[in-house]
Amino acid sequence: MSNPSTGASSKSKLGSSQPSETSFKRKRGVFQKDLQHMMYGFGDDPNPLPETVALVEDIVVEYVTDLAHKAQDIGSKRGKLSVEDFLYLIRKDLPKLNRCTELLSMQEELKQARKAFEVDEEKLGTLE
């Protein structure tokens, strides 16, 4: 399987120090536990069928792979891969785009809050 746009496929990886991490040989059940809860949340049975979960995992991995490859194609023009590339790819899908901007802004907010919290912790420490 060759992919001209990137040198590495999802099955093999070169130039990394940890062979177990790099050879992402599509291990079964990477997302399985989380997917079961997620599928129940979205409308499936409380115990989804294992073959369904495996299929959904395959589809999701393929989706993320395609998305990442496309983002890389876009990002390579700019130099490196960034979040903007992913946001550009989902620009047509409004629910996803809104959700992602929301997640990013929440993350910023939490970062600020954490920083402020650490400062307060110090103050509390000195007070006591």
Partner 1 sequence: MKQSKDPFEAALEEQEESPPDSPVGEDELNSQTPNEAQNQTDGGQNILVDDDDDDYDDLGPTIKNPSHPSSSSTPKLHSTSVNASVAAAVINKNKEYDDDEEEENVDVELSKFPSSADPTKMAKMQAILSQFTEDQMSRYESFRRSALQKSNMRRLLVSITGSQKISLPMTIVVCGIAKMFVGELVEKARMVMTERKESGPIRPCHIREAYRRLKLEGKVPKRSVQRLFR
Chain positions 64 to 93 lying near partner 1, rule: CB under 8 A, are 64-70, 72-73, 80-83, 86-87, 89-90, 93
Distances (CA, A) of 13 to 7, 27, 88, 112: 9, 15, 27, 37
Range 20-39, binding partner 1 (CB under 8 A) = 21-22, 24, 30-31, 33-35, 37-39
Selected binder of partner 1 within 5, 19, 77, 126 (CB under 8 A): 5
Looking at the chain, how many residues does it have? 128
Contact flag: residue 122 with partner 1 (CB under 8 A): no
Contact flag: residue 105 with partner 1 (CB under 8 A): yes
Supply 4's token pair: 């001209």
Selected binder of partner 1 within 28, 78, 91, 120 (CB under 8 A): 120
First to last CA, the chain: 63
Which one, 78 or 106, has the nearer CB to partner 1? Answer: 106
Please state whether 113 falls in left (phi above 0), alpha (psi between -120 and 50) or beta. Answer: alpha
